[in-house]
Structure 1
Amino acid sequence: MSGSSGFLDELEVDALTELVNIGVSRAASSLRQMVQRQVFLSVPSIEVISRRDAATLMAEREIGPLVAVRQEFTGAFAGRALLIFPEANSLALVRAVTGDELSEAEAADLEDEALAETGNVVLNNCLATMANMLQRPLEMSLPGVMRDPGPALFEIDAGEDDGVVLFLYINFAVTERDIRGYIAILMDLPSLDALKTLVGEFIQRVLGQGAAAEA
């Protein structure tokens, strides 16, 4: 994916992509420690699009029902973070992170709990890394699982239509299973403006460090 529909410029998108990739790398490390198995997470790129475009994109990519882990966050910028899987992949993820030691029925019983914990690890690492590198704290809510949420997936507040989505396509690989999914970070326009300001400050710090290193 590329482009940012006018919400962010190319340098801002590159900086955010770098921040998110660091966060996802840390999430993979945390998941490896949790499940004691090899875990790979990759984020090819990010895109900043409207909520309506995000819903359209998801409908085009995924025909079947979806499962999402949701966490709200507040701070210098605020919104909702989602880890989204096709429902067909969610049980495969649970079986992978539990080491295939559960029967199908047992895995189904623990599915929401395991999904919430996995989502918590991935989303917390992504957002905590962003917050740390942008030098601003964020508070995260407890995770909740949404099943087949349909159009409600990308809603921020009823009646609002000015929200944006930082949309990431990710690949999970756990014990040689490939499990595709998505990370979506929903924000309103004031929060996006706040994020743009912080990303700009981050870029200036990086450029300043680069200039100092060359001096």
Structure 2
Amino acid sequence: MTDGGAGDGTAIGLTELQLDAFTELVNIGVSRAAASLRQMIGTQVLLSVPSVEIVSRDAAARLIGEREAAPLVVVHQDFAGAFAGRALLIFPQENGRELVRAVAGEELSLEEVADLEDEALAETGNIILNGCLATMANMLQRTLTMSLPGIARGDGPQIFGMHAGGAAGADALVLFLYIDFSVSERDIRGYLAMLMDLPSLENLRLLVDEFIARALGDLDA
């Protein structure tokens, strides 16, 4: 999933070890989030995170535009603390509706799915984004505060354009992840993105260095 030099982490000076450590943090965070979602809907949930990319907002919009021609739905939440930004959970519209059926019930009509869609997506997004970020912050020995989830729709440029403000400004970079959901034997693909400005990414890089040092220290002990 590498997009040349823009997607290999070197844009903000991440070494291969730092990127590997951050990818591991994300994997653990997403796994914990999947466990929380499984408890809510009572069935097996698998979320895979094959790779992490650090790209510009324009590059993130291009990446998602290359993969998804259909309209997108996004759950967004701001986070603040030792590092700050905005987290986005993005689905193709039809995948979002499949997720609503998995959460709210297979027997729902199309009209009922439409009525419940925003509420179910916000709840699901809150579980995934909160679970992932809280786990990562805990492993970095920090805490984060999260805003209430909101819902938006659009294509890639619209989504990353409308989320340029807030906690992440015009110079925001995007930690971009591709995730496959498997819920109740459904294949539901989605994207997880975290928009952060350069100071927040630098803070995160320092926290990752501390995490690596603790891990190496434990190995040496």
Match of 1:6, SS state, is helix
Q: How does 1:37-116 map to 2 (within 5 A)?
A: 37-116=43-122
Give SS of 2:145's match: strand
Residue deviations 1:66-89, cap 9 Å, x none?
A: 100000001111000000001121
Three-state SS of the structure 1 residue aligned to 2:73 is strand
Q: 1:6 aligns with which of 11, 17, 35?
A: 11
2:191 maps to amino acid: Y
Q: CA deviation at 1:164?
A: 0.7
Q: Which residue of 2 aligns with 1:157?
A: 165
Task: Spell out, residue by residue over 1:112-171, the C-alpha distance to the aligned partner (whole angstroms, 9 max, x if none).
Answer: 000000100000011001110111110000000111165242242299542111111000
| Counterpart residue number, 2:5 | none
CA distance in 2 between partners of 1:165 and 1:205 (Å):
26
Other-structure match for 2:186: 177
Distance in structure 2 (CA, Å) of the matches to 1:168 and 1:50:
13
**TM-score computed with the length of structure 1 as normaliser:** 0.94
Q: Which amino acid aligns with 1:4?
A: G
Letter aligned with residue 156 of structure 1: A
- Preserved contact between residue 35 and residue 99 of structure 1 (Cα < 8 Å): no
- Is contact 2:126-2:149 (8 Å) kept? yes
Contact 2:62 2:157 in 1 (8 A): no
Mapped to 1, the partners of 2:60 and 2:110 lie a distance apart of: 33
Q: Is the contact made by 1:131 and 1:138 (CA closer than 8 Å) also made in structure 2? A: yes
Give me the CA root mean square deviation: 1.6
Query: Is 1:22 paired with 2:28?
Result: yes
Aligned-pair identity in percent equals 65
Amino acid at match of 2:127: V
Please state how far the C-alpha of 1:5 moved relative to its aligned partner.
Answer: 4.3
Number of residue pairs aligned between Structure 1 and Structure 2: 212
Q: Contact 1:5 / 1:49 at 8 angstroms: preserved in 2?
A: no
Do 2:65 and 2:155's aligned partners in 1 also have CA atoms closer than 8 Å? no
- In 2, Cα distance between the equivalents of 1:133 and 1:157? 28
Aligned residue identity for 1:74: A
Task: Tell me the equivalent position of 2:177.
Answer: 168
Q: For structure 1, which runs of at least 5 residues remain unmatched after alignment?
A: none
Corresponding residue for residue 131 of structure 1: 137
Provide the residue aligned with 2:211 in structure 1. Answer: 202
Question: Does the Cα contact within 8 Å between 1:97 and 1:174 map onto a contact in 2?
Answer: no
Moved more, 179-188 or 7-16: 7-16
AA in 1 matched with 2:126: N
Q: TM-score under structure 2 normalisation?
A: 0.91
Q: Could you tell me which amino acid in structure 2 is paired with residue 122 of structure 1?
A: I
